[in-house]
Amino acid sequence: MKVGVAGCTGYTGFELLKLLEEHPDVTVTALTARNPSVIKSDPRFFFLYGDDCDAKINTLEDVNFSTCDLVFFATPHGVCMKHAKNLLNQGITVIDLSADFRLRDQDLFERWYGIRHIASDLLDRAIYGLPELNRVDLCGAKLVAMPGCYPTSIITGVLPLIEERCLIKTLIADCKSGVSGAGRSANNSTAYGEVAENFRAYGVNGHRHLPEIKQEISQIIRRYEETELHGNVDIQFIPHLLPMFRGLYSSLYVETKENLSYGEISELYRRRYGTEYFVHVLPTGMLPETRFVQASNHLHLYINKLAESKYVNILVAEDNLLKGAAGQAVQVMNLIFGIAETVGLK
């Protein structure tokens, strides 16, 4: 496959490019950067240096994606929507790692992201790129909206409960992420001196991933429930900034429809994810840690039934730049083109 990457200098774009350069079925033929000359002097990109380096790297305005089978957009919100329709009309598959096509409601997107959506007619065509949820729909998809890093951990964490009709009444998501989740742009709040030896919450009055989480969980419940009880699910989500570069940890507290035993819940999760290569339900006493999923596309889950409580506690660890972004995008690419999901990700 011939593949292009728009926005290869950000944290996600760079991780994506590294994976694609090692993928046995991919040739990266086009790259974009705001300032292409920077790449040629950046030691991170030494593996690109060669006779065709100049031909590969251009600005988004000057790039030629016409020979590509697929183009990834690892760009800020609002960029992909400007180019998606043209690429789709050329028969080129688009995988967007920004939020441009995650929310199906145009008004909701514009309210949360503060920009006008100029490709709203494509919103219903976009497939939500969580393989463990939408594997069948992703096979052969033309436009994919990749999930955010927090929604990946939360939705994966509660999916078996919803599918088994153990309808959640309340979901409390206490989540933490490394500073790379904020992107590479300079920002005082994410500077080393502000983050080191510090821990804080952010987005407490509403984070952009909240409507995405609500949308997808409601959609899943509608898929598996005949009733309209999904409207009564109370979802609380608060993200926190960890004093480290990469990694994401979610502590989920779920009030279930029935008072299920620990054994019943554990068996439910092991049955659901037993054949998933990248999702691992850890055994009793082995808690997830961010260091064990770092630089991998794996996600670790642990089920903890709180004593004398109506809540189930689900612990989730992932690498926010890989399973939460670039790695999962490559997993989706493999699905689209009929390649084994693990290729290029082991």
What are the residue numbers of the active site? 149
- Are 146 and 211 in contact by the 8 Å Cβ rule? The answer is no
Tell me the C-alpha distance between 224 and 336, whole Å: 25
Q: For residue 300, how many other CB atoms are within 10 A of its CB?
A: 22
- Collect all residues with Cβ–Cβ distance below 8 Å to 58 and sequence separation of at least 6: 30, 31, 32, 36, 64
Tell me the C-alpha distance between 165 and 214, whole Å: 17
Tell me the C-alpha distance between 169 and 154, whole Å: 15
Give the Å distances, CA to CA, from 212 to 100, 146, 157, 328: 11, 11, 15, 17
Tell me the C-alpha distance between 179 and 163, whole Å: 33
First to last CA, the chain: 19
Tell me the C-alpha distance between 16 and 21, whole Å: 9
Q: Please, is 213 exposed, middle or buried when counting C-beta atoms within 10 Å of its C-beta (0-12, 13-18, 19+)?
A: buried
